[in-house]
Amino acid sequence: MAQLIDGKAVAARVRAEVKGEVEKLKAERGLVPGLAVVRVGEDPASKIYVTGKKKAAEEVGFNSWEMHPDEHITQAELLSLVDKLNADPEVHGILVQLPLPKHIDSERIISAVKPEKDVDGFHPVNAGRLSQGRPGMRPCTPLGVMRLLDEVGCDPSGKKAVVVGRSNIVGRPMALMLLAADATVTVCHRKSNLAAEVATADILVVAAGVPELIQGEWIKPGAVVIDVGMNRMPDGKLKGDVEFAAAKERASFITPVPGGVGPMTIAMLMCNTLEAAKASR
């Protein structure tokens, strides 16, 4: 029977560490990390995410700002807002909450953020640095997964890791981070033979967005299972991408949904913003 990985508790610890470092930065260098969050329009999920990010930023002692242009903002206006934040020395991290309205080219906006202020780690320069194994801003969700693995004493080095999903925000950077940690990595997608690949995994990370896609009986006994999926079911409850009850019987460690990876994403955003501030001067 697997042990549960308590993402909520780890995330609280990470935020406390950041808070301690912020106090030191303030005292020693007179530097207060600043996070600017841009939320365009009235997407209800974005509102919840941004509120959570702002609250966490305030709790760890950052300056934080929310820019909230309405959904009719033009691409040029949004680009000039990003430019203003790029130029502001008090802003160390800029996060443009996705999705953006359809008339805006998200890639243009993401690419307009200075790479050193790109605390989401989505800028092509940061993605390129990750793919070349060089330092840079890393996307928060896979960074949070790496921290959870570390917390349970799971060193990926020499292990077989299987990542299900290859999105730019989770699966692909996840695979590259595991590779950088010397795992042997397989990346799965819709054309993969999931049952066969999953059965080989010492470390399994699933980010597909399909409830209970991964059957418990596929899992290798003793595997560490990280479920990134967050699927809202008709009854309002959240379900992961892994058949939790069955997987728990075989895994050594497993993340619950909710309370696993979810809380880590915001905590790692705080870490990225802190690092951006430290590197700023």
CB of 75 to ligand NAD, least distance (A): 23
Q: Which CB atom, from 40 or from 261, has the smaller least distance to ligand NAD? A: 261
Tokens of 216: 């418990």
Q: How far apart are the first and last CA of the chain?
A: 49
Q: Which CB atom, from 59 or from 182, has the smaller least distance to ligand NAD? A: 59
**Interaction pattern, residues 88-127, with ligand NAD; x per rule: CB under 6 A:** ----------------------------------------
Instruction: Please state the length of the chain.
Output: 281
Given candidates 166, 220, 248, 250, which one binds ligand NAD under the rule CB under 6 A? 166
CB of 165 to ligand NAD, least distance (A): 3
What string of H, E and C letters represents the secondary structure of 39-84?
A: CCCCCHHHHHHHHHHHHHHHHCCCEEEEECCCCCCCHHHHHHHHHH
Scan residues 27-66 and list those touching ligand NAD (CB under 6 A).
Answer: none
Q: Which CB atom, from 177 or from 188, has the smaller least distance to ligand NAD? A: 188
Q: Which stretch binds ligand NAD (CB under 6 A): 178-186, 196-204, 222-230, 271-279?
A: 222-230
265 binds ligand NAD (CB under 6 A): yes
- Active-site residue set: 53, 97, 120
Q: Which CB atom, from 91 or from 140, has the smaller least distance to ligand NAD? A: 140
Cα separation, 180 vs 75, whole angstroms: 36
170 binds ligand NAD (CB under 6 A): yes
146 binds ligand NAD (CB under 6 A): no
Q: Which CB atom, from 91 or from 261, has the smaller least distance to ligand NAD? A: 261
Q: How crowded is the C-beta side of 127, counted as CA atoms within 13 Å?
A: 14
Question: Residue type at 7?
Answer: G
Contact of 18 with 60, CB cutoff 8 Å: yes
Instruction: Return phi, psi of residue 245, to 5°.
Output: -60, -45
Given candidates 33, 121, 171, 256, which one binds ligand NAD under the rule CB under 6 A? 171
Contact of 116 with 106, CB cutoff 8 Å: no
SS3 95: strand
Query: How far apart, in Å, are the Cα atoms of 33 and each of 88, 94, 133, 254?
Result: 12, 11, 26, 34
Contact of 156 with 182, CB cutoff 8 Å: yes
Annotated binding residue 165: yes
7 binds ligand NAD (CB under 6 A): no
The residues binding ligand NAD (CB under 6 A) are 141, 164-167, 169-171, 188-190, 192, 194, 207-210, 213, 228-231, 261-262, 265
